[in-house]
Amino acid sequence: MSNEMVAIDLTQLPSTQIGSDEAFAALAKGGDWLRYIKLCSNDKYSKAGKIPTGHWGLPGTEESIEDLGPSIDVLPLARRPKALDMSDKTAIVTSYDEQSDTFKEIAARSMESSSNCQHGISFLMFERSTGQFYEIFFGNKSSRPEAKNVYPYLPLSQADIDRMSAAGADVTDLTPHGPRPVTLKTKLAKNNKGMWHVPVAIKCSTPFTKVPSTATIVAEITKFLAPKTGGVEKVKEPEGRKTRAR
């Protein structure tokens, strides 16, 4: 019997799955935690040569990261305040209540060098190239000012407009709209202490033509904004994978 390989055309096979692509993506998740995208600059990944400095990366295990390039297209979906204390990697503390003592303490410590603390604005975003939801955290002194340039791209509901009006804001030119595409790039900053990259948010001219269902987006937003117990979470990182509290 011959073992010779014969070229055949298998392009006309019937559908090879039952269920939607969206369902399979959800089933393949390792757990109900939100992965995050980070700007790599003078961090352990770029210093180890695993990703060019100034690129956006998607951390996997403690030692690996996927290079998403110098710019990414995203749909901002929601925002929340966040303070993050990573001084003890076995018990990371996250606070989402900016009025709490925990948040204020972490925010104060984040102004100290090498404190391993951050505070700022956490965004839920849908990224184009991977087709997945992620957190992007504008949590250091260089990125916090750029967060306000992402705000106009977030969804705006009539309830949001009414809330802003009640607070005294001029809402004359505002109308409800869905999330708008934004491109996150990077630029080099420097001072007498060194050089580093900072995020830059600009309007994206290419519309998103493929997004999850409205029900899926609503579910992700709901989980992202769900109140945590006392506004504080303590998370112990599992072996081999670096995670973040939702």
Q: Which regions in the chain score pLDDT beneath 50?
A: 237-244
**pLDDT at residue number 191:** 83
Whole-number Å distance between alpha carbons of 79 and 75: 12
Domain positions in the chain: 32-235
Amino acid sitting at position 104:
K
Q: Is the pTM of this model over 0.85?
A: no
Listed as own residue / partner, the contacts of 153-162 with beta carbons closer than 8 Å and 24 or more positions apart are 153/75, 153/76, 153/179, 153/180, 153/181, 153/182, 153/201, 153/203, 154/76, 154/77, 154/78, 154/79, 154/179, 155/77, 155/78, 155/179
Measure CA 201 to chain center: 14
Taking the C-alpha atoms of residue 69 and residue 57, their distance in angstroms, rounded to an integer, is 7
pLDDT at position 21: 65
pLDDT for res 89: 82
DSSP 7-47: ----TT-----SS-HHHHHHHT-SSS---B-EEESSSHHHH
- pLDDT given at position 117: 95
pLDDT of residue 196: 87
Check residue 113 and give its pLDDT.
82
Q: What does the pLDDT read at residue 174?
A: 93
Tokens of 65: 């990261």
- Nearest to 139, CA basis, from 92, 180, 179, 178: 92
Provide the residue type at 41 as one letter. S
Question: Which pLDDT belongs to residue 240?
Answer: 47
* Cβ contact 169:225 at 8 Å: no
* Per-residue model confidence (pLDDT) at position 242: 46
> Using an 8 Å Cβ cutoff, are 24 and 132 in contact?
no
The confidence score (pLDDT) of residue 90 equals 85
